[in-house]
């Protein structure tokens, strides 16, 4: 993979680690509530669901990092996990917030293109 592809995939992985932290550990704290525009009551009621969602984001990050760690041998793994991120971004953008298209979907699409070009 090219340096640009490596950097974009690494950035997407780090972004998903951040999502894990926000959803698993900061969901009910002021910074987490502010990031998602949540009331204190809603955050408390939904914290178990958010933690589950955060765990899935952690799996996406782990898969991307695994693919990077394997180098050229991990290209298929990297493409698979970028595809998963793209699908999650598209679904989230259509069902939850259009912002998810830009924050999650667009970087995944760029990553897919860069990895496929190398």
Residue 29 sits at φ, ψ, to 5 deg, of -85, 160
Residue 98 sits at φ, ψ, to 5 deg, of -60, -25
The confidence score (pLDDT) of residue 118 equals 87
The confidence score (pLDDT) of residue 43 equals 97
Q: Which residues contact 94 (CB under 8 A, 6 or more apart)?
A: none
- Tens digits of pLDDT across the chain (118 residues): 899 999 999 999 999 999 999 999 999 999 999 999 999 999 999 999 999 999 999 999 999 999 999 999 999 999 999 999 999 999 999 999 999 999 999 999 999 999 999 8
Asked if 43 contacts 27 with a C-beta cutoff of 8 angstroms, the reply is yes
pTM of the model: 0.92
């Amino acid at each position: 993979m090219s340096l640009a592809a490596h950097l974009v995939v690494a950035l997407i992985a780090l972004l998903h680690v951040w999502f894990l932290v926000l959803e698993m550990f900061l969901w009910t704290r002021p910074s987490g509530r502010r990031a998602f525009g949540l009331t204190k009551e809603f955050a408390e009621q939904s914290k178990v669901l958010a933690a589950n969602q955060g765990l899935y984001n952690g799996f996406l990050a782990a898969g991307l990092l695994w693919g990077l760690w394997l180098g050229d041998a991990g290209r298929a793994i990297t493409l698979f996990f970028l595809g998963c991120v793209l699908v999650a971004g598209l679904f989230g953008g259509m069902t939850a917030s259009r912002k998810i298209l830009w924050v999650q979907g667009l970087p995944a699409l760029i990553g897919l293109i860069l990895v496929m070009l190398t």
